[in-house]
A = this chain, B = another copy of it.
Amino acid sequence: MVNAYDGNAADILEPRERAMVEERARLLGPAYRLFYKRPVHFVRGEGVWLFDTDGNRYLDAYNNVASVGHCHPHVVDAICTQSQTLNTHTRYLGQPILDYAARILKTFPPELSHVMFTCTGSEANDLALRIARAFTGKQGVIVTENAYHGVTESIAAASPSLGPDIAGRKRIKTVPLPGEGQKAGAQFADDVRKAAAGFEEEGVGLAALLVDPIFSSDGLRPDPAGFLRPAIDEVHEAGGVFIADEVQSGFGRTGSHFWGFERHGIVPDLVTMGKPMGNGHPVAAVVAAPAVVAPFGKSVRYFNTFGGNAVSCAAANAVLDVIEREQLTANAVAVGAYLAQRLHRALTGHPAIGAIRTVGLFAAIDIVEAETGKKPAPQGADRIVNAMCDKRILISATGREGHTLKIRPPLIFETGHVDILVEALCDIIGTPTHDIRAGENPTDEV
């Protein structure tokens, strides 16, 4: 795994952390992974900050779960109040689920008018595939080469980033990440068409194309906006459905739009969402076109004990309150633009920087070998991620080669936080920071 703690390097840890790492292995077993060469131990969170046991604060430029900020008081209040009042399931009538359902559906095109609740993005994607397979009567699912969609058996198979040892991949085909530039759409559509034809030949048939509309786990590929459209047309032509996995791209992350698919001017057949939906409370959902969910709903009932319970809906509702009240999509546009500008000014042209891609409050920086300026340098990326952690700034790495820095802060990130982040990056990478701090030299772009 990219940015994983190496269990053989325990001797560099402080005794207390070393003991915790050993206790984890003993209690939780071998399948768990920690971040960083020196795993960090947090005891408190507030806004964009996480605090360790010594009271040191870390700038969180990675976690999109606490999207409206760690321990946001409005979300905490909603969870407490509802937990004190009622927390039961969806086989009784209740107002919270209806209020939230109506509210979240208003953020979608009118074609998408049903919402079903789960607890995790994995469950949402798993359910979306069940619905897609019931609708099409086919089994095949197309995903990108380094996609990550979750951890149920069905969805782990559709997550190549989990590695080659995942079972059950006969119903999955991967397509390369879309290229860059104006040909991206045609190339991606062509690859999708070929994969669909392959499924048809094998008698598997095409159920769905499942992608994150900004391709986060493939290293972020947001542009050119609109390039997904031809591929969706191919999928529909082949009788499949298009599922937009908005777990990373949704809830205003892209700034310009509430959902990542909107940037492409398309309407998915199914949309899944998760991580930021409850700011850490386990709630997730599938949004669907009624015709697509009809065959599933007719023959198969769905009940998720905790999914859509009163507390989950209260938490999710409070998150929408905060996004609206604090104008966090506008903030993602403004602070995202400032982040992009600072990264480009500071790093473009540096021999170890292959590319910088951004969308809203999400930035990806390819680290390459300085000698060639091209060859992916995952060890270089790993070094930067860990050096950033030593400076108490949290980022990670991603992409098939693991050489892409992943910067995906809470949506409340401010320009001052960008300054801290970029200056630390420049210090580590070894390049002047260019004096465009927001406070000192504001520009119209910001």
| Chain A interface (Cβ < 8 Å from any Cβ of B) | 1, 4, 17, 20-21, 23-24, 26-35, 39-45, 50, 63, 65-66, 70-71, 73, 75-76, 79-80, 83-95, 97-98, 101-102, 105, 113-116, 118-123, 126-127, 129-130, 133-134, 151-154, 156, 162-163, 165-167, 274-275, 279-283, 288, 290, 293-294, 296-307, 309, 311-312
A63 to B, closest residue via Cβ: B88
Q: Which residues of chain B have C-beta atoms less than 8 A from A33's C-beta?
A: 91, 301, 303
Q: Is the CB of B39 within 8 A of A114?
A: no
B152 with A97: CB separation less than 8 A: no
Closest-by-CB residue of B relative to A17 is B93
Contact residue among B29, B43, B129, B133 (Cβ-Cβ distance under 8 Å from A288): B29
Chain B residues within an 8 Å CB radius of A43:
85-86, 94-95
B121–A122 contact, CB under 8 A?
A: no
Question: A105–B305 Cα gap in the complex (Å)?
Answer: 24
Q: Tell whether, in the assembled complex, residue B89 and residue A65 are in contact, meaning their CB atoms are under 8 Å apart.
A: yes
**Cβ-defined contact, A98 with B24, below 8 A:** yes
Measured between C-beta atoms, what is the minimum distance from A212 to chain B in Å?
A: 15
Is B165 a contact of A152 with CB atoms below 8 Å? Answer: no
Interface hub of A29, A121, A152, A166 (most chain B Cβ within 10 A): A29
Chain B residues, CB < 8 A from A73: 84
A24-B93, A50-B92, A163-B299 are known; give 9 further A-B pairs, CB within 8 A.
A30-B294, A32-B90, A34-B93, A42-B88, A71-B85, A79-B79, A119-B119, A119-B306, A275-B305
Q: List 21 A-B contacts (CB under 8 A).
A: A20-B98, A24-B93, A27-B101, A28-B115, A29-B297, A31-B293, A35-B92, A40-B92, A41-B94, A43-B86, A70-B87, A76-B84, A120-B123, A120-B306, A123-B151, A151-B302, A162-B300, A165-B299, A281-B306, A282-B282, A282-B312
Q: Are A41 and B162 in contact, CB atoms less than 8 angstroms apart?
A: no
A280 contacts which of B76, B88, B151, B162 (Cβ < 8 Å)?
B88
What separation, in Å, do the CA atoms of A89 and B65 have in the docked complex?
9
> Once bound together, how far apart are the Cα atoms of A246 and B149, in whole Å?
28
What is the count of identical protomers in the complex? 2
Q: Given the complex of chains A and B, what is the CA–CA distance between A417 and B30 in angstroms? A: 46
Contact A31 B301 (CB under 8 A): yes
Known A-B contacts A30-B293, A120-B305, A165-B300; A130 and B115 likewise in contact (beta carbons under 8 Å): no
A50 contacts across to B, CB distance below 8 A: 86, 88, 92
Q: If the complex has contacts A39-B93, A299-B163, are A121 and B305 also in contact, measured as CB distance less than 8 A? A: yes
Q: Tell me the smallest distance from the CB of A327 to a CB of chain B, in Å.
A: 24
A301 proximity list for chain B (CB < 8 A): 1, 4, 31-33, 162-163
A41: chain B residues at CB < 8 Å are 92-95
Q: With CB as the reference atom, state the residue of chain B lying closest to A114.
A: B29
Residue of B nearest to A89 (CB): B65
A45 touches B92 (CB 8 A): no
Closest CB-CB distance, A381 to chain B, in whole Å?
Answer: 17
> Given B26, B45, B167, B297, which contacts A87 in the complex, CB threshold below 8 Å?
B45
CA distance A139 to B300 in the complex (A): 24
A87 CA to B39 CA in the complex, in Å? 17
Q: Contact check: which of B80, B87, B101, B118 meets A28 at CB < 8 Å? A: B101
- The answer to whether B305 touches A116 (Cβ under 8 A) is no
Complex Cα gap A342–B127 (Å): 43
In the complex, A120→B282 CA distance in Å?
A: 10
A133 partner residues in chain B, CB cutoff 8 A: 167
Give the contacting residue for A311; candidates B127, B280, B306; CB below 8 A. Answer: B280
Q: Which residues of B contact A45 (CB under 8 A)?
A: 85-88
**Closest chain B residue to A299, Cβ basis:** B165
A23 touches B98 (CB 8 A): yes
A63 to B35 Cα, complex, angstroms: 39
Q: By the criterion CB–CB under 8 Å, are A134 and B30 in contact? A: no
Q: Which of B32, B71, B87 is A83 in contact with, Cβ under 8 Å?
A: B71
Q: Which 4 pairs show the lowest CB-CB distances between chains A and B? A: A30-B297, A29-B114, A165-B299, A41-B93
| Interface-central residue, A97, A283, A299, by most chain B CB under 10 Å | A299
